[in-house]
Amino acid sequence: MNEFLLSLSPWVGSLLIMAISIVLGLIVYLVSYKLLAKYDSEELRDPIGNLFRVIGMLVSLMLSLAFAEVVVQLRAIENAIEREAVAISDTFDDLKRFQTGETREIKTILIDYTQSIIDDDWPALAGNQLGNKTGDLNKKLQQAAMNLEPTTEAQKQLWSRILNDLDVASDYRLIRLDNALGEPPIYLYVVFFGFLLTMACFGTYRPQGPVVVLVSMYALFVGMVLYLILVLSDPFHGGFGIEPTTFEHVIERMRSEMNGP
């Protein structure tokens, strides 16, 4: 179900899950009203009203926690992507300072590798994996850097920094994969169950126009928040996915300097 919703455009996916929430909510509400109509609604209204407030508060709290969790995760991914891009950019700058003809080929591989992150890695992350082409270029890049032969003390320091930055970039690439495999918070199922219980608590009220509208608006809002949590929990898939904009800026700068005077 999650994969199907994420495969849809944001507008279609959000409208679909909100429609499902409204329909399920109204069904539970009407069934609950039919069952409770056999009893004195005045006697039931106070205990059910107290239950409604408790469940409503718990549902709101858990929705807030789930939303905060996916936002923190999203910020962590964005930070990892920025650090990966910085490591690639620093590698390119250190290769320029190395001042040897061998580095031109390595810089070319580095540019191809960065372009492959955009063209190969990013589409693959939507399917919870990393691109094979990017992996091959990463190995080629690491090997080429290892084959550098520093002759001065300055080159030895630059060589050490280059190898370290390439390791850092590889580590953050794996972090992207780890987060692509992420799942929505498990307690979302409890939230949805709490939402249905809340709809059942409305059953003490007769289904008149204003009540039906209120129930529908509540269900719509919960559905909207659930969809937002769902799409943010898989940041490389769906209409709200993270774009490789940082790498596009880095590769534009590297190409400009490679082709410059």
CA 249 and chain centroid, separation: 21
Q: What gap in Å lies between CA 60 and CA 64, rounded to an integer? A: 6
Interacting residues of 106 by C-beta distance below 8 A, sequence separation 6+: 95, 141, 144, 145, 148
pLDDT at 259: 75
CA 109 and chain centroid, separation: 29
Instruction: Provide the number of structural domains found in the chain.
Output: 1
Q: What gap in Å lies between CA 31 and CA 27, rounded to an integer? A: 6
pLDDT at 87: 94
Q: What gap in Å lies between CA 176 and CA 125, rounded to an integer? A: 8
Which residues constitute the domain of residue 198?
2-259
Which three-class secondary structure state does DSSP give residue 186? coil
* pTM of the predicted structure, to 2 decimals: 0.79
Closest CA to 138 of 161, 154, 156, 114: 114
Q: What gap in Å lies between CA 25 and CA 197, rounded to an integer? A: 9
User: Mean pLDDT in each 10-residue stretch from start to end of the chain (261 residues)?
Assistant: 66 85 91 80 71 83 86 86 93 87 87 93 82 90 90 90 92 82 73 87 84 89 87 74 88 85 53
**CB 254 within 8 Å of CB 94:** no
Q: How many CA atoms lie within 13 A of 240 on its CB side?
A: 19
pLDDT at 239: 62
